[in-house]
Structure 1
Amino acid sequence: MTVIDSHTHILTEPMIAAIAKEVPSLAPKLTRVDDDSAVLEILDVKQNPFPRSAWDLERRFAEMAAQRVDMHVVCNIPHTFLYEADGALADTVSEIQNEAIGALVRQHPDRFIGMATVAMQSPMRAAATLERAITSHGLRGLHVGSNIAGRNLDDPALDPVWEVADRHGLFILVHPHKVVAAQRMGSYYLTNLVGNPLETTIAAASLVFGGVIERHPNIRFCLSHAGGFTPFQAGRFRHGWKVRKEPHVRLKGDPAESLARFIYDSITHAPGPLRFLLEEVGADRIIFGTDYPFDMGTTRGVEEIEEAIADVAIRQKLFEGNARRLFGLGA
């Protein structure tokens, strides 16, 4: 079967050069460390290490072969969301990346499926940029951060973006970004180990209780890293709806209906949680993902699925079938 990795990131050197030319104030700075990695700096954010495979296509193709992956769904790295920046400048950076990812898909149609990024802090611009990404650049999804400069994803100002996504029936990958309570998680890499799944869970709850999913039934929201804490706490969400009035402020229907529409990637790093996710949400709502090429992703994604799931038909859905359906690829 074809193996499609639906959660990967990319930032090539031509993208960096184009951003530096058009928007020098937001240009990523890449400082090589060795043959395998660099330090990436964007505004006040530093990624160390930043793996070579994020910008080197030949390295990426070699690693795909080694990891038994045939296709990558590629999106921008979260560092280039730039939601705290000027909206017009961030929109230009988004357009540069969208156009470049579209070109990569056309150059390598058997290797890449592309997703867009937009300047969510400027929703009207973002809606227009997303429309262009779909209709002009051929991208098949949207990559969004878990919060927009501290605002949750149920902010009514974001509705123009959701309306475009709903009209096109888009797949939207929700990725943790600028995690809450970072000042308490400075040690032990807790900003990622705990902060990232917590951020994803807050985003999921906001989409549910803010009525975003309910109002936009055609969007397929996918939660990164197996949904953070969402699958394990879904029962708590449902119970809170029954016993408290606060969850009813914007959500009209039962939260179970919105929860039932989430898609999850397969990144659990252990077989037990993956089997729990499969039992909790079903095989049709999980897609194979690795968070390539970052070190908190997995290089053994295919083997992890094989070790956790014996049923070949279920593996086929995770590796290929669900992605083909969600991205409109056909058989």
Structure 2
Amino acid sequence: MRTTATPTRVDVHAHFLPAAYLQAAREAGLSSFDGGIPVPEWSLAGALDFMDRQGIDAQVLSVPSPTAHRLAGRGGAAKLARRLNEAAAEIIDQHPSRFGALAHLPLPDVDAALAEIDHSLGDLALDGVILATNYAARYLGEPAFDPVLAELDRRGATILLHPTAPACFAQTGLGHPAPLVEFVFDVARTVTHLIYTGALTRHPNLRIILPHAGGAVPALAWRISAFAAQPALTPGAHLSPESVLAQLRGLYYDVALGANPHSLSALLELADPGHLLFGTDHPFSPEPLITANSRGLADYPGFSDQTRRAIAADNALPLFPQLAARLAPLTG
């Protein structure tokens, strides 16, 4: 049971595996995820125990990769996404001050996704959405996805952009699971696409979180921005190196598996500490690795105590106002 008087940690990158998701994975013939990642154990009681051990006041839950479309196909994705989102809402009902949740959308079916946005963010009052970096090799900057981004922009939605394997993974993965290398590059691929298609310019109210200290984005930020000096590469987007960097700096970055000197030094060259968020990637990250990551955040010499507190909880609260309201009795 949480004993602190004020929230000290809000975990914005935490997954849950409801029965409907695991059943769909079995029916799809998956015994592991994303090229060889074992399916971890997850239960609500286990999640609460983990949070108490780690001093985490609240988790923002989301369903991981693979997506509902990958598991159930276009015909079954909408029904599966609805079941997943209603399972998330039930958890919030049971523990309103311990959990928030991000809606899962049945993309690439745009009409079904729009209906699920209305249901999950409206009727269920979930806290935002999780979007995969690609859906069956289709990336979010495509014009066909613009109605979804426009509706999320209208709502000022918070989005966790979660990696999944690219279509070329069979060739580029080299026999390794996608999270080893491909995940971090697919985040960079998707962000670059969103910028160079003008999608982020058209939808400035999206509040997008990049996981794992931005993946490859901080290391590639200068290159991604520098190419905007070539007008032929930015037709209709009206980009400049300065505007691209501004868009990258406007994103948010969780530090799951990224609270180490290598990742943080690159990230802090790009992002203000006010845009850094605490995350664990539980239950896919082993708890000893999560503990070590938290220690890396605590020990990083570039942070003041105030900055550490902000990353741990305060930076997240404006992104999740409904969860923040449920935590309000703790904050006094």
User: Which of the five TM-score ranges fits, normalised by the shorter chain?
Assistant: 0.7 to 0.9
TM-score (norm 2): 0.86
Verify the 8 A CA contact 1:84 1:149 in the aligned structure 2: no
State yes or no: 1:249 paired with 2:235. Answer: yes
Deviates more, 1:69-78 or 1:291-300: 291-300
Which of structures 1 and 2 has the larger relative contact order (alpha carbons within 8 angstroms, sep 6+)?
A: 2
The counterpart of 1:179, out of the listed 166, 177, 181, is: 166
1:127-150 Cα distance to aligned partner (Å, 9 max, x none): 111121011111111101111110
Which one of 257, 271, 289 corresponds to residue 261 of structure 2? 271
**83-92 or 282-291: which moved more?**
83-92
Aligned to 1:166: 153
1:1-331 equivalences under 5 Å are 1-13=7-19, 15-16=20-21, 27-29=24-26, 41=31, 48-52=37-41, 54=42, 56-83=43-70, 85-187=72-174, 189=176, 191-242=178-229, 244-253=230-239, 254-267=243-256, 268=258, 270-295=260-285, 298-300=289-291, 301-309=293-301, 310-328=303-321, 329=324
Cα-to-partner distance string for 1:148-193 (whole Å, 9 max, x where unaligned): 1101111111112112211111111111112253233444626322
Deviation at 1:48, TM superposition (A): 4.6
- Identity in percent: 27
The amino acid across from 1:294 in the alignment is F
The one-letter amino acid of 2:84's match is Q
Runs of 4+ in 1 over 3 A off after TM superposition: 39-42, 44-48, 83-86, 184-188, 295-298
Amino acid at match of 2:255: S
How far, CA to CA, are the matches of 1:203 and 1:46 in structure 2? 20
Q: Is the 8 A contact 1:126 1:161 kept in 2?
A: yes
Q: Specify the code of the residue in structure 2 equivalent to 1:327.
A: F
Contact kept, 8 Å, 1:171 with 1:326, in 2: the verdict is yes
Structure 2: distance between partners of 1:215 and 1:271? 35
Q: In 2, distance between residues paired with 1:84 and 1:160?
A: 24
SS at match of 1:116: strand
Structure 1 unmatched runs, 5+: 21-26, 31-38
Residues in 1 aligned to 2:34 and 2:234: alpha-carbon distance in whole angstroms: 37
- Which residue identity lines up with residue 160 of structure 1 in the other structure? P
Please give the alpha-carbon distance, in whole angstroms, between the structure 2 residues aligned to 1:327 and 1:186.
35
Give, in whole Å, the separation in 1 of the partners of 2:31 and 2:52.
Answer: 29
- Alpha-carbon separation, structure 1, partners of 2:307 and 2:195: 27
TM-superposed deviation, 1:60: 1.4
Provide the rounded CA distance (Å) in 2 between the counterparts of 1:29 and 1:86: 14
User: 2:93 is aligned with what amino acid?
Assistant: R
Letter in 2 for 1:306: A
> 1 CA distance for matches of 2:15 and 2:236?
34
What is the match of residue 3 of structure 2?
none
- Summarize deviations over 1:243-274 as a string: whole Å, max 9, x none: x2333114224323322221111131523321
Aligned length: 310
Aligned amino acid, residue 102 of structure 2? M
